[in-house]
Amino acid sequence: MRGLIDKLERERGLSKEEFVQLLSGFTPEDADYLFEKSRAAAQSRFGRRIYIRGLIEFTNYCRCDCYYCGIRRSNLNAQRYRLTPEEILECCQEGYGLGFRTFVLQGGEDLTFSGQELAQIIRSIKNAFPDCAVTLSEGERPESDYRLWREAGADRYLLRHETADPAHYGLLHPPAQRWEHRRDCLLSLKRLGYQVGSGFMVGSPFQTVECLAQDLVFLRELQPEMVGIGPFIPHKDTPFGNQPPGSLEQTVFLIGLLRLMLPDALLPATTALGTIAPDGRERGILAGANVVMPNLSPLGVRKKYMLYNDKICTGEEAAEHVSQLAKRLEAIGYQLTVDRGDFKVH
Ligand code: SAH
């Protein structure tokens, strides 16, 4: 195993078979060996600085029906909401005061927000906060919308590929949602000059180590600027409500592998990681993650953006408690930083 970890560090990639071997046989000692290297790779580029992004969950209406997701169209128990442009700007205003220089607008695929309307929202954020980056995360839209938003000033786009195995993709989504379409969206976003984030859930139903190896091979090829991964967590009102969650150990091991494979990438310690274990985010950072994304959504709607059971949103992951988060990161030797935190090759 150590030979494979050394090779990954040297060559920034492995074959699918080698990834399968690593993922199916690693011991806790192998993981510690990996984390020493992956942490060092992060620290040599970013020091002990952690970037923060303010997450604004601006709508939970969604036309999609992903079997794992709590805000899927068929979940009639979800209480739906959408923020007004004014409310979105107020979130940014609050976030700016707290030191955020990146705003992430995430939502369900809500076509009530037309391409033009979102472009207008992006322009008003960029006008009011010219020193801030705007990241979008609103799923699969026509390339013409992606272009409009880029022209309006959006800098980055998060679109997890969810799984790079088309057959597995078909087990997580209804037939109308196709792997090839999601992949094509990622390629469009790259072409349009966005800093692109992709990623996947760890431990999603029917996932095998071969699927995960395929995810790593896919990401090596895509060379995204950001990669978000987190454990799958069931949501009670979905078809996967009784499935077991993904594991912390496997998630942090994958963060370590991603850091060695894409050493300059921005890798968040995600909310899902913080939800499955109280020290999940710290464990992610100690495996090489360098971003956290506290929640900036208005308090009244936070509980409604419930992607999975017990999603945390009011403790240290809340933007208004960013100073508590800073203290926790200081306890493991890291500092939060006020910075746009753009991708750069070191
Ligand atoms: N509509 C946007 C945002 C989706 S929500 C889009 O399609 O990109 C953001 C991410 O949450 C998803 O990409 C998915 O990977 C993750 N997610 C959804 N349900 C989840 C669950 N039950 N457990 C863990 N992560 C989940």
Where are the extended beta strands (E) located within 60-132? 102-107
Pocket of ligand 1 (CB under 6 A): 68-69, 106, 108-109, 137-139, 159-160, 162, 201, 230, 232-233, 235, 272, 307-308
| pLDDT for res 204 | 98
Query: Is-contact 305 110, C-beta < 8 A?
Result: no
Taking CA atoms, 217 is separated from 91, 168, 182, 222, 262, in Å, by 37, 15, 17, 9, 12
Q: Which of 138, 307, 313 to mutate to test the pocket of ligand 1 (most atoms within 8 A of CB)?
A: 307
CA distances from 106 to 118, 120, 145, 263 (A): 12, 16, 15, 26
> Which of ligand 1's atoms lies nearest the C-alpha of 159?
8
Model pLDDT, residue 79: 98
Residue 68 contacts residue 240 (beta carbons within 8 Å): yes
Closest atom, ligand 1, to C-alpha of 240: 22
Q: How many CB atoms lie within 10 A of CB 18?
A: 17
Cα–Cα distance for residue pair 68/239, rounded to 1 Å = 7
The whole-number mean pLDDT for each consecutive block of 10 residues of the chain, a chain of 346 residues, reads: 97 98 97 98 98 98 98 98 98 97 98 98 98 98 98 98 98 98 98 98 98 98 98 98 98 98 98 96 98 96 96 87 95 96 93
Residues in the chain: 346
| Sheet containing 49-52, strands listed edge to edge, beginning at the edge strand earlier in sequence | 291-292, 49-52, 335-337
pLDDT confidence of residue 34: 98
> Rounded to two decimals, what is the model's pTM?
0.98
CA atoms within a 13 Å half-sphere pointing along the CA-CB vector of 310? 11
Phi-psi region of 334 (alpha: psi -120 to 50; beta: other; left: phi over 0): beta
CB 267 within 8 A of CB 346: no
Q: What is the pLDDT, as a whole number, of residue 222? A: 98
* 329 CA → ligand 1 middle, Å: 25
Task: Report the pLDDT value the prediction gives residue 316, as an integer from 0 to 100.
Answer: 83
pLDDT of residue 209: 98
Q: What does each C-alpha distance from 18 to 2, 24, 126, 189, 202 come to in angstroms?
A: 12, 10, 44, 30, 18
Chain mean position to CA 345: 20
Pocket probe mutation, ligand 1, options 66, 74, 201, max atoms within 8 Å of Cβ: 201
Ligand 1 centroid, distance to 3 Cα (angstroms): 34
The answer to whether 266 and 290 have CB atoms below 8 angstroms apart is yes
Neighbours of 271 (CB within 10 A): 23
Question: From the alpha carbon of 245, which atom of ligand 1 is closest?
Answer: 23
**Is residue 72 within 8 Å of 64, Cβ to Cβ?**
yes
As given in the structure block, the two tokens for residue 142 are 């026509």
> Minimal CA–CA distance to 224: which of 135, 305, 101?
135
CATH 3.40.50.1820 describes domain 2-337? no
Domain edges within the chain:
2-337
Residue nearest to atom 7 of ligand 1 (CA): 139
- Tell me if 58 sits within 8 A of 106, measured CB to CB: yes
Confidence (pLDDT) at 320? 86
Cα torsion angle, 31, 315, 229, 288, sign: negative
CA 34, CA 254: separation in Å to the nearest integer?
Answer: 10
CA of 62 to the centre of ligand 1 (A): 12
Q: Are 101 and 125 in contact (CB under 8 A)?
A: no
Which amino acid is residue 280, in one-letter code? G
pLDDT at position 315: 87
Q: Angle, to 10 degrees, between the axis of helix 248-261 and the axis of helix 2-11?
A: 40
